[in-house]
Structure 1
Amino acid sequence: MCPDIQCPDIQIRPAMPADSSAVTQLLRKSYPQLLPEDYAPTTLRAVLPHITTAQPALLSCGTYYLAQNDQGTVVGAGGWTDISPARGVGRDGEGHIRHVATHPGFLRRGIARALISQSLDAARAFGLVRMHCMSTLTARPFYQEMGFAPVAEIELTLAPGVHFPAVQMLCDI
């Protein structure tokens, strides 16, 4: 069950490779609707093809989770890894929040909060003491509410010539 009282009909479970289509559908509904307030249309046209497809490595890592409603629809996704999404290496005791999204029709129900809580609890149990996050500009206030502090504004290179403004954030867990 979702630990937040606002979403008692939501189940959280580890993602699997077979969830690729459902996660891609979620990402393609979420990001195009939630990001336009903080990003220029030209930026979104360039970056959306790179961020709206499920990542096979995340779906099989065991620490990427899905939130499903009582009809089995994926309404949220997110998790963590102990390797960096940018360079594929990790530091002892540190992890990275990865590819979090909530379906626009299910916002403000505690789904993302439950996914982050699940991730932080699992990361602590794994022995991690610090969590990094490369947040969208849109999600920065959410992550701050979850205890993450902004470290720097950054620009992610998603492909040659495709740059995505983001915020590097950090949380001691």
Structure 2
Amino acid sequence: MNNIHLRPYHPSDLNNIIHIFTEAVHQLGIKHYSPAQLSAWAPSKPDRQRWHDRLESMVVVVAEQGATIVGFIGYDGAGLVDLLFVHPAFTRRGIATMLIQAVERLAFTNGVSQLQTKASMVARPFFESRGFVVIAEETVTIRGENLRRFAMDKIIKPTQ
């Protein structure tokens, strides 16, 4: 992972972020969600203004390999990990771990002692491997499709 570095999100990253999100949802979610659910979650024509507003409202850390964005995490500053996606071509390389560790350090430094997330069925095992615990199973309706997810949380400590 020596060639992966983390940096803050810039508005010029928007198209790459949307692309990573869409590819990750459609390629990694296929075993857990139907095509209709995947299309509702990550439509082929994303709302760029909604994405811009969402990303501007949180702390976003981008993972790059060279000049290529390979993943990102979004954190609201108060404990909610709202987004964590890695491009499918770069999964299983520790990038998601680097991103969540960066948020854990940032959160702890800012006095936050607990993180929460709403993990998809795809993301649940990763979050569990990082010490998150399922609090509740939920169903969220997106564009008329019901998707299963998990409310999870984790107490963070300075050694993480």
TM-score between both structures, scaled by the size of structure 1: 0.81
Which ranges of structure 2 fall in alignment gaps of 5 or more residues? none
RMSD: 1.9
Q: Superposition pairs for residues 1-173 of structure 1, below 5 Å?
A: 7-49=1-43, 55-61=51-57, 63-70=59-66, 72-82=67-77, 94-159=78-143, 161-173=144-156
Task: Tell me the SS of whatever aligns to 2:125.
Answer: helix
Mapped partners of 1:170, 1:150: distance in 2? 7
Which ranges of structure 1 fall in alignment gaps of 5 or more residues? 1-6, 83-93
Q: Sequence identity of aligned pairs in percent?
A: 28
Pairwise CA distance, 1:53 = 6.2
Change (3 A) 1:58 1:43: closer
Change (3 A) 1:122 1:60: same
Pairwise CA distance, 1:28 = 1.9
TM-score between both structures, scaled by the size of structure 2: 0.87
The one-letter amino acid of 2:120's match is: T
Pairwise CA distance, 1:19 = 1.0
Pairwise CA distance, 1:162 = 3.5
Mapped partners of 1:141, 1:111: distance in 2? 15
Deviant stretches of 4+, over 3 Å: none
